[in-house]
Structure 1
Amino acid sequence: MSEAREGEAAPGHQLTRLVEVMTRLRRECPWDARQTHRSLVKHLVEECAETVDAIEVGSPEDLREELGDVLMQVVFHSLLAREDGLFGIDDVADSASAKLIARHPYVYKGAELPSDLDASWELRKRAAKHRNSCLDGIAGSLPALAKAAKVAQREHNGGPDEGSADAEPITAEQAGEQILAIVRRAEASGVDVDQATRDAVRSWERRIHRLERDQRSV
């Protein structure tokens, strides 16, 4: 699938051109020259959000453009890191490849295909990063609802899952409608639903940590 057709350049050959363009802009464009990792954060967040929009409601051309903008951010941060003597774009690509190979032993090492791919991925990730809790590594800056979903995923895949295994199935449409109904009720009651969700997630995380400690002490 990744092999080039006869007469075509191999996929990825334009990445070199992008690195060259970004390197020149870093030297010769005043705006690019003054950027830092921190100053670029808002742009990375915006580009990721615009990519989501392109996937959900945009055209293939929109998606191609937005993916290019995200890739540009990756290259930009890699250039900044190289200037600091830390790593470069090749190191970023190499670490991603190495991680994927290590996390897919059933593809690269002839291991047996796991019955639960999501759970086995989380367990291998947890072991590789020497994490003590299923919640370690969840980004604190995630939006409240996205973080709640991530906590639920981690709890179910390798954590002390108390509820999702027996939870009543729900469709995407039903989930969306019920969430909107709660948002409307909260707004009518003067409740900051985003803050309420963050508080509830923190309480949930504390409960999971307690359960994990109890399990380790048995």
Structure 2
Amino acid sequence: MSNHLTIRDRWRVISLRFDQNTHPNRIAHIVHCSVRTVYNILELFRETNDVVEREGRGGVNSLTNDEIHILRQLLYRYPDETSTQLNNRFYRRTGRFVTPRTIRNHRRRLGFRAVHARIQPLLNQRHADQRLAFCQRHIYDDWSRVIFADEKIFEVDATGLVYWIPYGRPRPTVFRSQVQYKVAVFGAVWYNNRSDLIFIHGRTNTSTFVEYLQDGLHSYRRLIRNYYFIHDRPTWAHTVTAH
């Protein structure tokens, strides 16, 4: 292999090829070397995960055991960071530069996989206990004549955040997402039917709540006489006007 390229130039070849998907002919033009030299550097990197010739070439791990230990610590501590971000942290910890591709290769070898976080509602233990107690108190009630109504906000989380975790470890839980798009609707369900869905625009008060009831249940008024009506606890749902 030609020795006129510096170590920095050789890593630049690797970055251009694997991080920017540049064709070897174009790489040769950029770093001022032959195409054969580019292919030799790429072959060396595939075999040794490094760009420097070593004795006993073939399957040599480019990171020492201590460096792998440091990388594993970084992977556990920063599971949502990209290989480039981890590469920068690795350099600050060890003083050694490796490519983001090397980070990705070792991340897979160490048994980490990519997942999306599981969305968890903000429900504390007291709320969970209250819900369980309510179910136990009313387990034998006749629920066929009960109407449940509520508003619901449907959200689209546009962050696309990916976490890298070891195989066998449960996915992380996100309690609050950075919501970019959302739409609110009102609806009701009962034993053998459901109301129309009403889209909510703006804030809800007693007057708008009554409008939701009228619009959503108007077609079913004659069918739901002598039903119990259950809603959550906002003030405007329990006024005289709403009742």
- Asked if these proteins are the same fold (TM beyond 0.5), I'd say no
- TM-score normalised by length of structure 1: 0.21
Identify the structure with the greater helix proportion: 1
- TM-score normalised by length of structure 2: 0.20
- Largest Rg, 1 or 2: 2
